[in-house]
């Protein structure tokens, strides 16, 4: 990834208008409480002291920002500021050349420059000479600047050098019994000042301090020693590491060869159930007697004649029209369960009569049996289980056979006993159906929360399928909502709802390690509602 694409990804991930931790951000000025006295001290010494003033601090300590503040806080009508950079101009000729050009002096020499300073003093103007990167000044340049700072009785410029501590060793070479310069050492930021500095940097780019957790702010302060330049670098590295970690977390559920452990266990359970079902499934030959009545039940019973293939201990049999083999009816003591679904359909029962209980027959299977009528007795409705029937011996010749429909009628009385059972079966179905709703695009849920509450933002992704997979995998109080970033949809995953920021921070510590690796952070519900309103 090129640096340009990396910057675009960084800005897009955090929804920043620009890099908040760039070395030079136009219009950014941060002055903690400890730096304001330093600025006042510089103005005071310039007015009442004749010494060269030196401001020192390590690289990235805020020397340039202090120099800019000094120039900005002077009265432009009474002070002419001349800013010189020692980069690439470290000798006396180069430095004096820049000063002479700024003061419109033809000759870049110390006497001519001092003469021009005296002329400006007569008109009520003072000269501030400010040198950046002064640690790069050579010996000749330092000597020339010390001569300018000493000046003449009629007038002199106020010289300020801003450089690293090594600058002091170069000036001590020219130190005599008379004091010629005064040193002001900058101090690092405290942790509270580091927080304020980060917050002001982020607000300028369109975000807030919630980008970082309290632990991250403490780490940034300790790793940077409180120096602004190091704070910028450490803070930017922290955000990039969090971005990479969150993107890795989002992609993980979609990886085919790195499934979570619970998914592997669920898949193994499904395979075991499928294998068990295949082993226990009846053979094709065993199913023929049970399915044949279902297929032929709608055909009227004729005067069936016992076939040669009949083997029911010589008992009576009914032969179905069009059937190649007769189906024996069991005698007393040889009863078999009747298949309710096919017989009900064959008997012409309506949907309203059977459809509701049919789904729950597995909870309490019916035990209705069909018994062959005795010889010579007219077949009537099958008795209920509570009414035992004694066979009556009559001649077979007078036994007309009625359709099979009356045989199935007692079945509803058996199914009715299973009606209380469906209630437990319905509750899990409702619970399962309600669970995915928590991970749906939660615009309504967020709108119903108090704006002062907090949610924990886990991550954002441009793929709704990825957001759904992540929420489904995590479950619980994970939700996501849709917003628009730079004209493209962004799906933001959040966790929970908390009454305070401290409660949200405590919840982050209790999250799984993989989720915490993405550096989640608390944000107000009001900010989410604002994103949703913008998206609409």
- Domain final residue, candidates 213, 232, 252: 252
| Residue 149 · residue 52 · CB < 8 Å | yes
Please tell me the total count of domains within the chain: 3
Q: DSSP of 453-478, one letter per residue?
A: -EEEEEEEES-HHHHHHHHHHH-TTE
**Rounded-to-integer distance, Cα 162 and Cα 59, Å:** 11
**Domain identity same for 43 and 124:** yes
Burial 413-442 (b: 16+ CB within 10 A, else e): ebbeebeeeeeeeeeeeeeeeeeeeebebb
- Which pLDDT value is given to residue 527? 86
Determine, yes or no, domain membership for 128: yes
| Residue 94 · residue 141 · CB < 8 Å | yes
**Domain identity same for 55 and 41:** yes
Determine, yes or no, domain membership for 412: no
Determine, yes or no, domain membership for 358: no
- Which pLDDT value is given to residue 243? 87
- Which pLDDT value is given to residue 496? 94
Determine, yes or no, domain membership for 489: yes
Name the DSSP letter for residue 304: -
Look up residue 234 and give its two tokens. 């450490």
Determine, yes or no, domain membership for 361: no
Is-above-0.85 flag for pTM? no
CATH number at residue 112: 3.40.50.300
**Domain identity same for 87 and 149:** yes
- Domain final residue, candidates 252, 272, 299: 252
- Which pLDDT value is given to residue 282? 60
Burial of 210 (0-12, 13-18, 19+ CB in 10 A): middle
- Residue 32: CB partners within 8 Å, gap ≥ 6? 189, 190, 193, 196, 197
| Residue 193 · residue 227 · CB < 8 Å | no
**Rounded-to-integer distance, Cα 336 and Cα 290, Å:** 10
**Domain identity same for 78 and 167:** yes
**Domain identity same for 50 and 181:** yes
**Rounded-to-integer distance, Cα 368 and Cα 47, Å:** 114
CATH number at residue 471: 3.30.70.1070
Determine, yes or no, domain membership for 466: yes
**Domain identity same for 119 and 222:** no
Determine, yes or no, domain membership for 218: yes
- Which pLDDT value is given to residue 195? 92
**Domain identity same for 210 and 92:** no
- Which pLDDT value is given to residue 137? 92
**Domain identity same for 228 and 203:** yes
**Domain identity same for 502 and 480:** yes
- Which pLDDT value is given to residue 442? 62
**Domain identity same for 180 and 77:** yes
**Domain identity same for 161 and 67:** yes
- The pairing of strands 52-56 and 79-85 is unpaired
- Which pLDDT value is given to residue 147? 92
Look at phi and psi of residue 485 and say left if phi exceeds 0, alpha if psi is from -120 to 50, else beta: beta
- Domain final residue, candidates 204, 229, 252: 252
End-to-end CA distance of the chain: 34
- Which pLDDT value is given to residue 279? 65
Mean pLDDT by 10 residues, the chain (536 residues): 59 87 76 84 88 92 88 90 87 92 92 93 92 92 92 91 92 80 92 91 89 93 92 91 78 51 68 72 51 41 42 45 46 42 39 38 39 44 44 44 44 41 43 39 81 91 88 87 82 93 91 83 88 79
Name the DSSP letter for residue 372: P
**Rounded-to-integer distance, Cα 458 and Cα 528, Å:** 13
Determine, yes or no, domain membership for 204: yes
For residue 12, the enclosing domain spans 3-25+191-252
**Domain identity same for 47 and 78:** yes
**Rounded-to-integer distance, Cα 151 and Cα 80, Å:** 16
């Amino acid at each position: 990834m090129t640096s340009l694409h990396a910057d675009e990804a960084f800005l897009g991930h955090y929804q920043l208008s620009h890099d908040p931790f760039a070395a030079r951000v136009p219009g950014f000025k941060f002055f903690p409480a400890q730096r304001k006295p330093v600025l006042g001290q510089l103005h005071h010494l310039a007015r009442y002291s004749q010494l060269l003033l030196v401001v020192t601090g390590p690289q990235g300590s805020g020397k340039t920002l202090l120099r800019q503040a000094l120039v900005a806080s002077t009265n432009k009508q009474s002070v002419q500021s001349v800013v010189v950079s020692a980069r690439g101009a470290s000798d006396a000729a180069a430095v004096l050349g820049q000063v002479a050009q700024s003061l419109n002096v033809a000759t870049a020499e110390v006497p001519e420059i001092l003469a021009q300073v005296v002329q400006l003093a007569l008109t009520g103007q003072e000269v501030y000479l400010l040198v950046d990167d002064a640690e790069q000044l050579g010996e000749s340049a330092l000597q020339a600047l010390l001569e300018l700072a000493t000046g003449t009785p009629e007038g002199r410029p106020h010289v300020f050098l801003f450089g690293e501590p090594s600058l002091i060793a170069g000036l001590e070479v020219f130190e005599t019994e008379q004091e010629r310069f005064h040193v002001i050492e900058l101090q690092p930021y405290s942790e509270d000042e580091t927080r304020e500095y980060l917050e002001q940097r982020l607000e300028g780019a369109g975000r807030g301090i919630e980008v970082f957790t309290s632990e991250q702010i403490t780490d940034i302060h300790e790793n940077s020693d409180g120096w602004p330049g190091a704070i910028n670098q450490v803070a930017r590295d922290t955000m990039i590491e969090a971005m990479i970690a969150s993107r890795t977390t989002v992609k993980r559920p979609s990886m085919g060869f790195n499934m979570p452990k619970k998914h592997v266990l669920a898949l193994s359970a499904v395979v075991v159930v499928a294998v068990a079902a295949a082993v226990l499934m009846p053979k094709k030959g065993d199913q023929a007697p049970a399915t044949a009545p279902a297929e032929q039940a709608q055909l009227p019973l004729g005067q069936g004649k016992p076939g040669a293939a009949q083997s029911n201990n010589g008992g009576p049999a009914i032969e179905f029209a069009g059937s190649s083999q007769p189906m024996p009816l069991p005698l007393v003591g040889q009863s078999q369960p009747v298949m309710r679904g096919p017989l009900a359909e064959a008997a012409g029962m309506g949907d309203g009569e059977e459809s509701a209980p049919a789904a729950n027959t597995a909870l309490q299977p019916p035990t209705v049996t069909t018994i062959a009528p005795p010889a010579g007795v007219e077949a009537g409705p099958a008795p209920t289980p509570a009414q035992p029937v004694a066979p009556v011996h009559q001649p077979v010749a007078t036994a007309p056979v009625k359709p099979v429909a009356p045989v199935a009628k007692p079945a509803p009385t058996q199914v009715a006993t299973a009606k209380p059972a469906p209630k437990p079966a319905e509750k899990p179905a409702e619970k399962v159906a309600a669970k995915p709703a928590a991970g749906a695009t939660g615009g309504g849920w967020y709108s119903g929360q108090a704006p002062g509450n907090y949610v924990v933002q886990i991550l954002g992704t441009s793929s709704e399928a990825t957001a759904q997979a992540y929420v489904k995998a995590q479950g619980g109080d994970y939700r996501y909502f849709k917003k628009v970033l730079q004209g493209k949809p962004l799906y933001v995953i959040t966790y929970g709802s908390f009454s305070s920021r401290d409660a949200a921070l405590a919840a982050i510590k209790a999250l799984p390690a993989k989720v915490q690796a993405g550096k989640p952070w608390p944000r107000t519900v009001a900010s989410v509602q604002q994103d949703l309103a913008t998206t609409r």
